[in-house]
Homo-oligomer: A and B are copies of this chain.
Amino acid sequence: MDAMEALYTTRAMRRVKTDPIPERVQKKILDAAIRAPTGGNTQGWRFLLVDDPGVKSRLAPVYRGCMETLWGSIYKDRIDAATAAPQEEESVEFMKMFRSASHLAEHFEDYPLILFAFCQYDNSGGSIFPAVWNAMLAARTEGVGSALTSVFFLQLDDMRKILGVPDEGDWHFSACVTFGYPTGRWGVAPRRPAHEVSFRNSWDGDLGLKIPEPLFSLD
């Protein structure tokens, strides 16, 4: 697969089949992850794959609890706004995300493979998210969809206990990624154009470039 296709079409893919992810693809996911850079090349990371139904069924209610907390707290205003004005473009977009994220929570135990990433020392995310994203991109090249979620941070102790994460070693939870073969189709995610969120040489400085359309499309 062309690199641009991978970069442009790897987006949250939460509606997936229960078919298992072959070992060959699992290897590709992990081996691509560790190619990413880390601060000082410390490689202070651990990747935990979960595919055991028992472990997934213990994690699932914890995850659903986290999502409920999230919807009732930092997302409450956006849910209220979307409910009050459901026709607004912003509301439509938000509700799409809301339904998709709810789908993930409701079906947590049905994902055939779930990756947990932990990071040591560096809390900026800069030494772990390039690896996590590499894992997702490598999966994409094999037709496997993924979705990144960090909401376990709302019930860290329960999640760490289920997975047996030790207190020693300063291992911070960074990300959880679900994997699965999509039921739907791949596409390029719509985004606010880059020239509207980019500057040159100073904050608010004219970028001098316009990028009105995605530079890659599947058509």
Which residues of A pack against B, CB within 8 Å? 1-8, 10-12, 23, 26-28, 30-37, 39-41, 43, 45-52, 55, 75, 78, 93, 97, 124-126, 128-130, 132-134, 136-138, 140-141, 148, 150, 153, 163-166, 174-175, 188-189, 191-195, 197-205, 207-209, 211, 214-215
Complex contact B32–A137 (CB within 8 A): no
Contact A211 B150 (CB under 8 A): no
CB of A124 within 8 A of CB of B138, answer: no
In the bound complex, residues from chain B placing their C-beta under 8 Å from that of A209 are 23, 26-27, 30
A164 contacts which chain B residues (CB < 8 A)?
Answer: 202-205
- Residue ID in chain B nearest A203 by CB atoms: B164
Q: Out of B36, B41, B141, which one reaches A4, CB within 8 Å?
A: B141
Interface on chain A toward B: helix, strand, loop, or mixed SS?
mixed
Least CB distance, A111 to chain B, in whole angstroms: 14
Q: Are B211 and A30 in contact (CB under 8 A)?
A: yes
17 A-B pairs (CB sep. < 8 Å): A3-B3, A3-B5, A3-B7, A3-B137, A7-B32, A8-B35, A23-B208, A27-B209, A30-B194, A43-B191, A46-B198, A47-B197, A47-B198, A48-B205, A52-B200, A124-B125, A125-B125
CA distance A203 to B52 in the complex (A): 13
CA distance A50 to B215 in the complex (A): 22
A11 touches B31 (CB 8 A): no
Cβ A35 vs Cβ B191 within 8 A: yes
Least CB distance, A24 to chain B, in whole angstroms: 9
Q: Which 5 A-B pairs rank lowest in CB-CB distance, beginning with the nearest? A: A125-B125, A129-B129, A30-B194, A3-B6, A130-B133
Complex interface: chain B residues within 8 A of A78 (CB) = 40
Chain B residue at minimal CB-CB distance from A160: B203
Give the shortest distance, in Å, between A148 (CB) and chain B (any CB).
Answer: 6
**Neighbouring B residues of A6 by C-beta, 8 Å:** 3, 6
A153 to chain B, nearest CB (A): 7
